[in-house]
Chains A and B, each alone.
Chain A
Amino acid sequence: MSLLRTITSGLRTLFRKEEVERELDDEVAQYVEAATEAHMRSGLSRAAAARAARIDLGGIETTKENVRSSGWDATVETLFRDVRYAARGLARNPGFTIVVVLTLALGIGVNTVMFSVVNAVMLRPLPYRDAGRLALVWTDDTRRALHAEPTAFATIVDWRNENRTFNDIAFYSAGRATLSGTAGRERSRWAFVSGNLFSVLGVSPMRGRGIALNDETGAERVVVISHSLWQRRFGSDSSVIGKTLEVEESGSKDGPVTMHIIGVMPAGFYFPDKQTEIWTPATTYWRFRRESIERFAPWARRWTSIGRLKPNVAVEDAQADLARIGNRLSATYQTDIPDFPGFTPNVVRILDAVAGRNTQSALWVLLGAVGLVLLVACANVANLLLARGATRQQEFAIRRAIGAARSRIVRQLVVESMLLATVGGAGGVLLAVFGTRALAVVAAGRVPRIEEIAMDTRVLLFAAVASFVAGIVFGVVPALRVSRTDASESLKAGRQAGSVHIRRTRGLLIVAECALAMVLLTGAGLLLQSLNRVKSIAPGFDAANVLVVRVEFPLEAPPAAVERTQTSRIEAARARGREQLMNEMIARVAALPGVEGVGISDDMFVNGQGNTSITIPGHPTDSLGDGELNDGSVTPELFSTMRVPLRRGRYVTRDDAQTKIRALWSLVITDQSLREKEQRAIAEPVVVNEAFVRRFFPAEDPIGKRFCIDPTNKTYWYVIVGVVGDMHRQGLEKRAIPEYFGPFLPTPNGRADLIVRTQRDPVAALPAVRRALAAAIPNILIPTVSTADQQLGNFSAERDFQTWLLTTFATLALALAGVGIYGVVHYAVAERTREIGVRVAFGASPSDVMRLLVLRGMRTPVLGIALGLGAALGVTRLMSHLLFGVGAADPATFTMVALVLTGVSLLACYVPARQAKRVDPMTALRRE
């Protein structure tokens, strides 16, 4: 009740000021009147009574003022007055105000942009209910350091039934899908999901229904489609439920399958990645029944699990729980398949899977760095406030002399700082709006989830808090310093004095700024060095002017019903026919004007997986770690098109392709010794790279040697016919690994990269290439096109982004520090005009004076650089995982950075110090 009264009464005072004032007047007047009459009644005359009454009251104005200044409305009133006064003061000094607001806007803006990145990637929840409770479960292959291996259905069922830490576990597998039908043939991605996936994710479609458990055994095949697919292929048709979708199943020999749409997911939903547009029950996968009883075969291990943790269960608990189940399974089931990874699980929070730990920690490092930039900006603003405050000291001294409390002055100065912080913050938000938009474009594809960047409430709240904190940081110290002075000293000394305290504080701020700038510059310098080291690695091939066209060969109709024994002969004949067609296609493209070479590789930039075991007769069996052996297949001209040098032997030829066909469809022999198999088998001719030779044949000539890969199928052999140079196909940061390349054979629905070297701009040749491809193979699909330069660039995209960002921050800090030093020296010159005049009058040359000023000015930056060096040594250790080829304490970088900062500081001192040369001693001495 009283709260309401307080509020209404206060509001009335604020908005009905004259009325309330009149009432106060009246009440006081009435009091005086009543007191006068009381005095008259005790015998005084009217005049004496009136005087006595006034004495009683003790001062009408004082009383009124006391009453007026009580209550919350009075504080608000004072605040408004202070704000208006501060605003007027700032408006009178536009230069100062603009510089401060710009500095703050820059600092806060850059921080807001960086925070919105962190927000989009790490803080904003994924589009699932309570995503923090979701965890992915993979199989962990500890022997080969592969931590995200898919699992067999049978094992997942055991996890699901025996666990104690999950509410439920679902599973899925995503892959390519080709949509066909009246709307045209199109590439997409789909996921086979268990019936409980949608309930584990806690999502429901915006139309129709999601996949449920009974769809797993239902008669018709059902799908749920994504919002984007619904818009694109069905024109956002509101009656899409019940309509059909035709999908070609990869690997299946049947034609496209007709599926019924039962639901549409809302916009913004994605699982497991942004390209997957279709979800269908896993049990309807055509090989599901056959695979579901297998635990060990590689082709049965295709599922990834996702589970919802029980409340209050940590990931580590779930890990231990499933490991326990894994131990039981290991004890119960054994196999002699050597590359079976075991039953050890790897449980990972879903966010850590989307944006890896490295990305997350890099973002935190960048956020810390940008906070340093804001600190430097605040130091600059504090410096400016101190300088301005120094010129107002006389004003404050007078006010204090006539009775103003120090707290009143401090409060006024803090209000001024907050006003600056608010305006600066608003400017920063404006900058951030543009900054985030630019960043979303620039960083697309380099940072996961960056396209979700937006200025939402959390980001705006961050900007507000940052402005507030900045206001306090740069406002409090100057306010205290400026109001502290001994009043009499300032009154005497006059305008130019500037207390020692203020000068010292400004010096300290410069030290701090230079130290911070040093830290940032060192970090940026190390990243730049790393980037340089990466870019200077020779890729092993010539990436300039090379077009990379990803193609997909069309499905073939299944063979007509024939006797079983004839199948392999028919398949071999078909393979020969396909090989012929492919070579005609290559010939067409090679005949185009401006084309210097054409080749095909199955996977030029290794987006697929590597092999894990190799058997070489006469060598001990080697088990390899993740990505330690790659295979590939190429057409004869591929290496020469990519300008990969031939070191020994020869490239593969078209005859080798025929040999491969024979090898693939030769009769399978099982019951012979390894030796016999090796001698009798038709071996596929392959070319290996130098890394392969170094690893497996360090002391012998590899030409003519044979090896096989799949130990369970020891009838398929390879023979080495040539050695080529190493290629960095997985980005320049990864070292070249052993690779072997056989002849390329196109397969129905198979993918490949068509490599085209052009004389000039490769993209200009694209339309002609497309026409040639379509003419040779009408149903060919072209999902993506890029250049070799772009592909190489993609591998270092994230590093590029981080380096560029940190360099921008460091440059900002450097500029701010330079401006700060300039300001201090400039002020010092103005302050010391008289001293300069005296020196010149006594015979010092102008250059002597200038040198003196520069040396004096450099004292604080040098101290700051030294401190910053020490700080940087400690701080850069935090970012050592981001570096490549350069240590966190690299002396060359540190020296360079120190020199740069010293140079900039010298410049910032020199420019204003030059002014000292022009000081005319006469006018200087006369000035005071």
Chain B
Amino acid sequence: MDESSTDVIQGTLDMLILKSLSLEPMHGFGIARRIEQISKGVFKVNPSSLMLAFKRMERSGLIDSEWRATENNRRGKFYRLTEQGRKQLKAETREWERRTSAIARLLEA
């Protein structure tokens, strides 16, 4: 795995997971896949960090999990966004946009 450039930092990983789940509930690999795809391969998610994040976020009440059948009729753990998670996503998105516009202004100045 390429450590140097594209490792996602913990704070943003949470936000990316929330965003991925905002569309529909998914299992772990699916979330990793979606993040990779939408970022066009810029962000490659470390599965270990991902699973740690799942545990953490579930305990904070941002996501819920349940065991369901996957596409291949296998047992899989699906995560979905809670109401609190939805609010958190909105808040984090706002915060992120605020930060990036500030940095952009700094870089332009």
Report the minimum CB–CB distance from A609 to chain B (whole Å): 76
A238 part of interface (Cβ distance < 8 Å): no
A28 in the interface (beta carbon within 8 A): yes
- Chain A residues within 8 Å of B29, by CB: 30-31, 34-35, 38
B102 within 8 A of A: no
The answer to whether B74 and A31 touch across the interface, beta carbons within 8 angstroms, is no
Complex Cα spacing A56 to B47, Å: 8
Q: Does B74 contact A30, Cβ atoms closer than 8 Å?
A: yes
Q: What size tier do the contact residues of chain A reach?
A: 20 to 34
Report how far A58 CA is from B1 CA in the complex, Å: 8
A30 contacts B59, C-beta separation under 8 Å? no
Do A34 and B70 touch across chains, with their CB atoms under 8 A apart?
A: yes
Q: Provided the pairs A31-B29, A33-B74, A66-B52 are in contact, do residues A71 and B59 lie with their beta carbons within 8 angstroms?
A: yes
B58 within 8 A of A: yes
State whether the Cβ of B93 lies closer than 8 Å to any Cβ in chain A. no
Report the separation of the CA atoms of residues A63 and B52 in the bound assembly, to the nearest whole angstrom. 9
| Chain B residues, CB < 8 A from A457 | none
A2 at the interface (CB under 8 A from B): yes
B60 within 8 A of A: yes
**Residues in A neighbouring B56, C-beta threshold 8 A:** 70
Report the contact-size class of chain B (Cβ under 8 Å from the partner).
20 to 34
A57–B59 touching, CB < 8 Å: no
Residue of B nearest to A33 (CB): B74
List residues of B (8-45) whose CB comes within 8 Å of A's CBs: 27-30, 33
Binary CB contact string for chain A from 62 to 81 against chain B (1 if under 8 A, 0 otherwise): 11001100110000000000
Q: Are the C-beta atoms of A37 and B72 separated by less than 8 Å?
A: yes
- Least CB distance from A372 to B in Å reads 48
State the CA gap A57–B48 with chains docked (Å).
Answer: 7
A897 to B34, CA, bound (A): 82
Within 8 A of B (CB), among A37-64: 37-38, 56-58, 62-63
Task: Give the contacting residue for A63; candidates B51, B58, B70; CB below 8 A.
Answer: B51
Mask for B61-81, Cβ within 8 A of A = 1, else 0? 100000000101011110000
Given the known interface contacts A23-B77, A30-B29, the answer about A57 and B55 at a Cβ–Cβ threshold of 8 Å is no
Q: Which residues of chain A are near B60, meaning CB under 8 Å?
A: 2, 5-6
Instruction: Give the chain A neighbours of B76 by CB distance below 8 A.
Output: 30, 34
Report how far A34 CA is from B75 CA in the complex, Å.
11
Closest to B29 in A: A34
Task: Please judge, given known A-B contacts A5-B60, A58-B47, A63-B47, whether A34 and B55 are in contact too, CB under 8 Å.
Answer: no
Q: How far is the CB of A617 from chain B (nearest CB, A)?
A: 99
B6 within 8 A of A: no
- Residues from chain B with a CB closer than 8 A to the CB of A334 are none
Say yes or no for A571: interface residue by CB 8 A criterion: no
Q: How far is the CA of A578 from the CA of B98 in the complex (A)?
A: 108
Beta-carbon contact of A28 and B1 below 8 Å: no
Is B61 a contact of A70 with CB atoms below 8 Å?
no
A50 to B8, CA, bound (A): 24
CA distance A23 to B76 in the complex (A): 10
* Complex contacts, B75 vs chain A, CB 8 Å: 26, 30
Shortest B24–chain A CB gap in Å is: 16
Residues of chain A lying within 8 A (CB to CB) of residue B77: 23, 26-27, 30
Q: Mark A413-451, 1 if CB is under 8 A from B, else 0.
A: 000000000000000000000000000000000000000
Given contacts A30-B29, A31-B29, contact A62 B48 (CB under 8 A): yes
A5 with B52: in contact, given A30-B70, A34-B70 (CB under 8 Å)? no
In the complex, the answer to whether B55 meets A67 with C-beta atoms within 8 Å is: yes
Residues of A within 8 A of B33 (CB): 38
Partner of A2, one of B46, B48, B61: B61
CB distance from A144 to the nearest CB of B (A): 77
With contacts A5-B61, A30-B29, A67-B55 known, is A58 near B46, CB below 8 A? yes
Whether a CB of chain B sits under 8 angstroms from the CB of A623 is no
Distance in Å: Cβ of B37 to nearest Cβ of chain A: 11
B74 → chain A closest CB, angstroms: 7
- Report if A562 contacts B (CB, 8 A): no
Residues of A within 8 Å of B48, CB to CB, are: 57-58, 62-63, 66-67
Complex interface: chain A residues within 8 A of B72 (CB): 33, 37
CB contacts (< 8 Å) of A37 on chain B: these are 72
Query: Which partner residue on chain A sits nearest B51 by CB separation?
Result: A67
Which residues of the partner chain B approach A532 to less than 8 Å between Cβ atoms?
none
One digit per residue, 1 when the CB lies within 8 angstroms of any chain B CB and 0 when it does not, for chain A 725-742 equals 000000000000000000
**A27, B28: Cβ atoms under 8 Å?**
yes
A157 to chain B, nearest CB (A): 70
> What is the CB-to-nearest-CB distance from B75 to chain A, in angstroms, rounded to a whole number?
6
Query: Could you tell me the distance between the alpha carbons of A28 and B27 in the complex, rounded to whole angstroms?
Result: 11
A-B contacts, 28 of them at CB < 8 A, read A1-B61, A1-B84, A2-B60, A9-B58, A9-B59, A26-B77, A27-B28, A27-B77, A30-B27, A30-B28, A30-B29, A30-B74, A30-B75, A30-B76, A31-B27, A31-B47, A34-B27, A34-B28, A34-B29, A37-B72, A38-B29, A56-B47, A57-B48, A58-B1, A58-B48, A63-B47, A66-B51, A71-B55
Besides the known contacts A30-B74, A30-B76, A57-B47, 13 further A-B residue pairs in the complex with CB atoms under 8 A apart:
A26-B75, A27-B28, A30-B70, A31-B47, A38-B29, A56-B47, A58-B1, A58-B46, A58-B48, A63-B48, A66-B52, A67-B52, A70-B55
By a beta-carbon cutoff of 8 Å, the part of chain B in contact with chain A is: 1, 27-30, 33, 46-48, 51-52, 55-56, 58-61, 70, 72, 74-77, 84
Chain A residues with a Cβ under 8 A of chain B: 1-2, 5-6, 9, 23, 26-28, 30-31, 33-35, 37-38, 56-58, 62-63, 66-67, 70-71
